[in-house]
Structures are given as C-alpha cells and as structure tokens.
Structure 1
Amino acid sequence: MEDRIQRWQKLLIINKHQVTNLETSFDLPEQHIIKVDCERTRGGMLLPEEQNTLELMLTHFCKDKGITYKQGLNEICAPFILMIREGLPKISAYHLFRQFVEINLTTMFSDNEFRPLQAFFLILRLVLRYHEPRLSAFFQMNRISPELFSSSWFITAFAFKLDNLEVLYELWEEMLRESDPLFLVYISVAFLQHVTNLIIDKEDYLVAQAISQLGFDSIEELHMILPKARYIKKNMPYSIFVRLVNFNIYNLDTINSSIKALENEFCLTVPPQEVMIRAFPESKICMCKFKKCAWCAKRLKDLPLIILDCRQGKEQEFGVFPNTSLIDPNIYKNVQAILDFPDQFAEIRGIFHFCLMGSKEFNKGTFDINETISSDTNKTMMVIDNLLQAFLVKGFPYVSLVEGGFERCHDFALNFDLALDNHQPEFCLLCTPNGKKIKSLLKEKLRYLNCRGNKANSPKFERTRSSSVEPHQIYEIDDVDTGFYKCRLYDKHTKSLSNESYDIAINKMFFTVGIVRNYGGESKNIIYHGRLEKLYKIQNKNKEQRIVGFYFSDHPRSLFFQFETHTDARTCMGQATKYCKMLNN
C-alpha cells in the first residue's frame, strides 16, 4: 500500500497550496443525505469513525468546490478513507480524493443535470456499435440503453461495482496512467465483451438487470479486461480517437452542443483528414512545419481502412479520390444488392475497417432496412443508411462514416492543392455550385462539342474582349421563341455598370447580347453571340440579386449583367436552363 500511495501522489501531482484544515460545520442543505450515504457506503465496511471522516471530507469538498452534494461522491471518496488505515494522513487522503475527481471526473459532480454523464452514454453507444455490432444490435432490439446499466460505472468509476479494493485500486491507477477522460468508456466496452455470454441468454426483460448485477472482483479478471480496453482504444482510426476527445464532455460551456452532436451520430465518424491521409499518403495534409504534429506522427501507424465512395455514378464522374473504392452502381437499383454488399468482405471482417462516404453530411439513420428506394428522397443518403444497417446486421465491426461526405473532403483537398482523379472543375457541382442546374444537363453535350470542335451554323462575327471596345457585328434575330431582357454589363472586379443598356436574347439555339430588334430597322451592336450549348454555368449568389453571370466555353471571360428587375433575372435564368434541357434531350 505504501508503494501505491507514493505512486499515486506522483500521478496526481498534489498542489502545494491545497487546504491544510478539513474542519467544517455539517450544515449543508443536503447534509442528511450525506450522512445516510456515508453509513451505507461500501456495504458497511467503514467503521463509525471512518464514516464521520467520510462525511467531513464530502462536506468540505462540496463547500470547497461550491457544488451541491450528489450521490456517487461517497463511493469515490471511501477508498481514499480506507487508505488512512495504511498510515496515509487524513489531509493527504482528502488531497488524493479531490485531485482524483479533478482529473478523472472533472465536472461530473459540478453539473446538477449530470450532462457529462449523458455524453458518456452517447459515446458508449457509438463505441460499442463500432467494436461490438452484434451486442449493440442485441441491446437495440431489446430496447436496452446505456442509462439502464452503466450509470454507476461512470459516476463512481466502477467503485460501486467492485467490492475488492485491490482490484479497484489497480483499475484506478491504470486510469491515472492513461490520462484519458474517455478511458472509462473503453473499460465499459471491454467489460461488456467479457460478460457477453452471461447476458445474451437472459430473458429480454432481465438483461439490463443482469448487466447491472455483474462485476469483476478478481485481479485475474481485471487483467483480462484492461488489455481489451487498451486494444479497443487503439483499434480505431486515430482521427476517431481525436474526434471523441474533442467533444470535451467535461466542458460545461460546450456540453450542450456536444450532446446534440452526439445524439445526431448514427455511428462513429472520421473527419476529412483521415480520407486525405489514405488518398494522398505522400502528401502533407496539416499546417505544421516540422512533421511533429499528431497527424504526421500517426499517419504511418494507422489501421487498414477501406473508404467506400457511395455516391451515385453520375456524381462520381465529377471526380474521385485516389485509393478509395467506388461502389457498384447496381446497388442503387434494388435493396437486395445492398443487403448482399457486405458479403464480398466476409474474409476480412474484423480485420479491415470500413468507412462510407456519401455526397454530403449524413443525417441520422433509421433502424430499418428501407425496402424501396424512392426517387423523391436523397438516394445516396438512403443507400448509405441501408448499407450501415446491412453491415450492422451481418456483424461487421469497425464501420464508420466520413464527416461531411465527399463535399467536405473535396473542399479540404482543394485547400491543400491535392488533385482528385478525373476532376473537371468546370463541370464539378462543388466547384461551381451556382451552375448546377445546367452543368449536369450540358456536361456530355459540351464534352462532345469541344472534342469535335463543331462550329457549324455559327454566324460569322467578331466578338470584342471588353465592353470598352466598340462592338460592330450586325446580326438579325427574328425567332418567335426568343426572349428579350434589358440589362447593363457589370464588371465584377470594379463593381461598376456600363453606361449603355443592352438586350439579352435567348432562343432554343443561340445566346446573344447586344442592341437587338425583332424586325428590321437600324443596325444592332452585338457583344456576344454563340450557340447555347457553349453555356456551362450560370451564377447568381443571391436569388434576390439582379446580377447574374454567364460562363461560355468559347469565351475567355465570364459575362455578368445587371437586369432591370429581380423577376427578369430569374426568368432569364429559367429560360436558359429550359432550353439547355431541351438541347440535352
């Protein structure tokens, strides 16, 4: 015991300015509850004098921290009281107790709503699903939530469950050495692994009760559970570990947002950095200068991870990340293909980790396999939801999602100048989001036209490079399907308008800008005239703005115009989109 006390004093780093006198009056509003708890703590193991010391320490602690007493503190404090029997001074026992709570349970007892405990439940649910999907599914099927069996594990750091003090002391010392606020979660999952066979055969209504009654009271059992806990912690992509720690569940200023985020997580999630490390193993994806940051240190020591690009085929055409696996497009055609999808990885189940990447952020999943894939819903989201369920049902551990999907990874890659395979920015929905209505329609058409260099039926005219040069091409438009819109040229760099007023004329074949009339008369000055197939992007950042930009593959600069009214701007964009669809079809 003496050696342990010395080790703990080093691990807990007792502040020299700690209190030196524990004397205080027993006058807290909840004093009666404290007294009753002290009498029954550790099954009556404490002597009357030790019970009085326990009440004194708990009362002083609550006053010292400015908190209301909460049950569970008594179970944490009692093992330190029992160290006094081995010669530890009473004041030193208090210091160890106070520092242990400060390090391992930080604000657990400072919050009247026990919000850190709520976060523990949510993280346990996610980590259990990642490492033990079948046990997770068993709990889910029987409506057994972590709240029903693990409250005392987290509130008392297993003190309430362990009668054997030697086991408890060794467990706590391991926690101190780990210096990880979430190590309790990994111990909990390891304990559940250890007792799985004792609970799965119970009647449904007895499962939660059976778990709550189980414990591990031998050093031998502890020595089986601790390696499992370390392996659970280690056997996750480093980015998942970092992400869980960054929820910072003991920070009461941010705990509400952390709980909300955890509630929306269907499974564990990896950030874009993880995808970048796999896709570009030779590239630097961090901002450190000397390759000493955690990402640099861990990138060569990580786990086998398969990133499954679950976007639809037409989305994959806009670019893919190297070293990722594209799912078979047939998976979008029927649910059976989804159910069968995990079977191809049966031989590496439990060895490889799988990460599913959709188009965007994944919304919280359902708990049933959708039997139909509706065209009215986001198909990619639904397929991912069903794939997660299929992996879960078939007992695949180590399944996660990419945070933010391809969209977030795409932005991350561009920020670090990392090149995607087959990436064409002019057609990419993410590079040109405001032109997405027509990009998908014109992509194949534009590619075809650009390849063959088709200029048939194009009028012979000379285009100016700037509105400051006098346009001189004369052109007559007499198509009854032509729409006309009054506008002024807009320079997006100087944010200025032209003095002249122009007309935009759009018909089923051509896009023309100039001074235009339908029927004869005086000459018309043309700024631009070209085939509508050349239009690949329309930009209007705000639907209420009158300024619209048009991008043509045969024109070196974008053309921006300010329309007379918001309605004109929207109508012009709508007509251009409509005719582009007709051309594409």
Structure 2
Amino acid sequence: MITQNKAILKWREILLNENLLTDAYKFRDWDQVNLEIPEKETLIKDLTRTRNDDPYFKKESTQRNLMLLATFYCQQNSVNYQQGMLEIVAPFLVMKNKDFPIYKCYAYFNSFMNTYFPKVLEWNILQGEKQLAHVLCAIQFCEILLKYHCSDFYNRILKLEDFNLSMVVTPLIMTLFAKGTSLQLVFLIFDEYMKRKNPNYIFFMVTALFMIQRQEILSFEDSEELFMYLNKKLKCINYESDIQQLFERADELRDQTPQSYEQLIASTSFNDKSVLSVEDITELTQINKSYYFKCLFIEVSEMKSLLGKSKKQSTKKIQLRLLDIRKDKKPKLKEFVPKEFIVKKADGNLHTCLIMESNKTIEYAVKVAQDLILEGVRHVSILKGGFQQLSASIKQQKDCSIM
C-alpha cells in the first residue's frame, strides 16, 4: 500500500515543473486576507462535509487549511469553487509535515490540477447561462466510449427514460474517484492515474468501472433499483485489489480503443490550457449534436497503421475488420484492402469499421452504426471520409499503399 511519504517522493518526480517553486512561494507570501471567491458558500459547506468521519478533518486547523488551499487555487487560476473539490485537495494537505509545509502542498496540488484537470472546473457563460462546459463534454466522451465497448449498456442504461449519465459520471470525474474512498486508497488511485501521464485516462477508468460491474448492472430488471445501484453502489473501491482491477481493465480498454478516440478529444481543445474562445466553448458543449457523438469515427491515417502498412506502426491491440456499406460498390474494396480485413457481417468480437462512400453519405452510415449498436454489436466505428478518402490517401502516399 502506498503511504503519504511514498506519495511525496513519487509525486515530486511526476509533478515537478518550472513553476513549482514559484507557486509555492506565492502561497507562502500570501497575506490570507482576501478569501473571497465565487461559490464561497459551497466551499464553506464542504468544509464540514469532507471526510467528516475522520478526526483529522474535523479539526478547525485542518478545515482552515483546506479552505486556504482551495481559495488560493481558485483565485490564482480564475476558477469557481466546485462542490466536491476538497476531495482532491485533501490528499495533498495530508502530506503536510515539518519537512513538507503547506505552501509545498499547494504547489503540488496546483501542478496536479493544471496537468490533469486544466479546464474541468471553469464556468463558462453560454447563451446567458453558466455552464461547466468541460464537465458536460467529459460526460459525452464517456458516453462515446461506453457505446463503443458496451453496446449492451447502451441498450440497457443510456436509452432509459429519465436517466442521465451525468448523475453517475460527474462525481467520478470531479473528484477522480476520491469521494467515499479511504485516503490510503486515494493515494494509490492518484499515483496510478498520474503514472499514465494522460488526462484522457479518466474516461477509460469510468468505462472500466462499468465493465467490471457489467453482469450486476444487466441483472436489474427494475429501473428504480438500477438507478439506486448506479448512484450508491457502482463505485465499490474498498481494497487495493479493487484498484488494481480497475486500472488493469482501464489499460485493456485503452489498448482496445482506436487512437482516433483521443484524436477527437484533442480536436475539441478539451485539454487545452489556453483561454478558449466562445466559439471553442460552444463547440465543446455542442458535440452531442454532431455525428461524432453518435459513433466513433476512425481517421484514414489510423486505418493504414492498423493494416500494418504505415511507417508509423500502431501500438493498439485491435483486430480491425471492414464492412462495406456503400450502395454502389464499384470499385470493390478488396482492390484496395487485403480480403482478410473485410467482413460481410459485423461481429462483436471484432472491431468493425463501416466503409461509406464519402462524407456525403455520413447520415446513412451513422444510421447503420446505430442499428448495429442497438442489436448489441460492440466496437462499431465509421471510417472518416469513407472510401473516397481512403483511396485518395493511398494513391497520394505510395509508401503507405495497401493495394
């Protein structure tokens, strides 16, 4: 089991950056007079709600330090306090000792947030309303991944009336699985998460949690009982072995997910640390209205890599097979792709990529993909740009030819 002292040693290496010392000195030299931040009332309420079964967190001095860390972080990063944020602050405060003063706790917490949660806590004003654009987008990315790997969940859960995935996913994302988990296990979760050095990894963790509980979830026939289970019992992390299982499954899912999924995340500027325009924020919140939310789209560049003909080989462990859904199938797909990569029927044990004619027929391709998902076929995707883009790319890059 990882301890606080071991965490300090590991996190020093992982979170070390050129701003760490400056951030520490800023907190050390802060006069602690101005404690005003947006949503301060929520922060004050959270002080008594955070780990209130632990004597250490009932102390006035501990609650004061939690408030200072959260307040200074919000002021320095121009973000509003969000309910539950103290769950992420707590593991960093616990590391405080005579050799690791509170201003160092702040510097490492700030480094962690800016590395792994650069925009999640930012409120944005869109159409006259405050919105957590990145949280909304994160929920949508979770749904895309769930639909790709867990079509039975999609049919059982996501299509239920009055069910909103945000009810289950938001607390996991906002607190990184910390809420309701013992601090010793939180240290282990954070440590394993940071080792992956990938802010997108949280989506694979969430999907892995559903996959681990798959049989239990599918056994519920009563919707109310299912809601209760998802909200109260889904995150069952009581032992170190639970965390090991969670990350092993998340690693498997990432290996089994086309790289185009994370390319989609990057294209939305989700992890961009710069100030996003209103147009960028709008695009984030509107992804659920685009075709890219309805089905995973695979880039042509990844197609060639997966077929083993690109100079840059894919590290993904994916058995990709192509299903030609063009209405006019001339020229034939096998003239461009070896026949062993072509299937006549989608198979849930394989990764099935639909080949449409071009982006002009995208609506038809999405309908076919959704029908397959509703039939319980897993790992369904669409080739972005379709056959026209694939053949054009092959002809332009002779070194990548798969003819």
Which category describes the TM-score, using the shorter chain as reference length?
Answer: 0.7 to 0.9
1:34 is matched with 43
Structure 1 residues 87 and 263, CA, compared in 2 at 3 Å: closer, same or farther?
Answer: farther
Structure 1 residues 387 and 28, CA, compared in 2 at 3 Å: closer, same or farther?
Answer: closer
2:152 is matched with 134
1:43 partner SS: coil
Higher strand share goes to which structure? Answer: 1
1:126 partner SS: helix
Structure 1 residues 48 and 405, CA, compared in 2 at 3 Å: closer, same or farther?
Answer: same
Whether the aligned pair in 1 keeps the contact of 2:295 and 2:382 (CA below 8 Å) is yes
Find the aligned partners of 1:176 and 1:260 in 2 and give their Cα distance. Answer: 29
Find the aligned partners of 1:217 and 1:5 in 2 and give their Cα distance. Answer: 23
2:286 is matched with 260
Deviations 1:74-117 (A, max 9, x none): 22112222222696311111112111111111111123421111
Whether the aligned pair in 2 keeps the contact of 1:80 and 1:97 (CA below 8 Å) is yes
Per-residue deviation, 1:217 = 2.2
1:217 is matched with 238
* 257-266 vs 70-79, greater mean Cα deviation: 257-266
2:314 is matched with 298
Whether the aligned pair in 2 keeps the contact of 1:153 and 1:161 (CA below 8 Å) is no
1:125 is matched with 143
1:109 is matched with 121
TM-score (norm 1): 0.58
1:170 equivalent in alignment to 2:185 = no
The residue correspondences of 1:47-446 to structure 2 (distance < 5 A) are 47-84=59-96, 88-112=100-124, 113-143=131-161, 144-162=163-181, 164-202=182-220, 203-214=222-233, 215=235, 216-251=237-272, 252-253=276-277, 254-261=280-287, 263-264=289-290, 265=292, 266-277=294-305, 281-282=308-309, 284=310, 296-298=312-314, 302-316=317-331, 320-323=335-338, 341-342=345-346, 345=347, 349-350=348-349, 352-361=350-359, 381=364, 384-385=365-366, 387-417=368-398
2:353 partner SS: strand
Whether the aligned pair in 1 keeps the contact of 2:133 and 2:284 (CA below 8 Å) is no
Per-residue deviation, 1:133 = 1.2
- In our comparison, the structure showing a higher alpha carbon Rg is 1
Deviations 1:130-158 (A, max 9, x none): 11111121113324332121111111111
Whether the aligned pair in 1 keeps the contact of 2:204 and 2:254 (CA below 8 Å) is yes
Find the aligned partners of 2:77 and 2:342 in 1 and give their Cα distance. Answer: 55
Find the aligned partners of 1:319 and 1:219 in 2 and give their Cα distance. Answer: 49
Find the aligned partners of 2:239 and 2:213 in 1 and give their Cα distance. Answer: 14
Per-residue deviation, 1:180 = 0.8
Per-residue deviation, 1:278 = 5.2
1:550 is matched with none
1:109 partner SS: coil
**Looking at both structures, which has the greater relative contact order when contacts are Cα pairs under 8 Å and sequence separation is at least 6?**
2
Structure 1 residues 176 and 240, CA, compared in 2 at 3 Å: closer, same or farther?
Answer: same
The residue correspondences of 1:466-477 to structure 2 (distance < 5 A) are none
* 3-12 vs 79-88, greater mean Cα deviation: 79-88
Q: CA RMSD in A?
A: 2.8
1:298 partner SS: coil
2:113 partner SS: helix
Structure 1 residues 362 and 303, CA, compared in 2 at 3 Å: closer, same or farther?
Answer: farther
Whether the aligned pair in 2 keeps the contact of 1:362 and 1:405 (CA below 8 Å) is no
TM-score (norm 2): 0.83
Structure 1 residues 362 and 70, CA, compared in 2 at 3 Å: closer, same or farther?
Answer: farther
* 113-122 vs 234-243, greater mean Cα deviation: 234-243
* 22-31 vs 138-147, greater mean Cα deviation: 22-31
- One-letter identity of the residue aligned with 2:327: Q
Find the aligned partners of 2:68 and 2:306 in 1 and give their Cα distance. Answer: 56
Structure 1 residues 356 and 44, CA, compared in 2 at 3 Å: closer, same or farther?
Answer: same
Find the aligned partners of 1:250 and 1:43 in 2 and give their Cα distance. Answer: 33
Find the aligned partners of 1:65 and 1:43 in 2 and give their Cα distance. Answer: 27
Structure 1 residues 198 and 322, CA, compared in 2 at 3 Å: closer, same or farther?
Answer: closer
Find the aligned partners of 1:125 and 1:269 in 2 and give their Cα distance. Answer: 14
Higher helix share goes to which structure? Answer: 2
1:401 partner SS: strand
Find the aligned partners of 1:67 and 1:220 in 2 and give their Cα distance. Answer: 35
Which blocks of at least 5 consecutive residues in structure 2 are unaligned? 125-130
1:9 equivalent in alignment to 2:12 = yes
Which blocks of at least 5 consecutive residues in structure 1 are unaligned? 285-290, 329-340, 366-380, 422-585
Find the aligned partners of 1:121 and 1:277 in 2 and give their Cα distance. Answer: 29
Find the aligned partners of 2:268 and 2:157 in 1 and give their Cα distance. Answer: 25
- One-letter identity of the residue aligned with 2:83: Q
Find the aligned partners of 2:254 and 2:342 in 1 and give their Cα distance. Answer: 29
Find the aligned partners of 2:381 and 2:243 in 1 and give their Cα distance. Answer: 29
Structure 1 residues 140 and 362, CA, compared in 2 at 3 Å: closer, same or farther?
Answer: farther
- One-letter identity of the residue aligned with 2:44: K
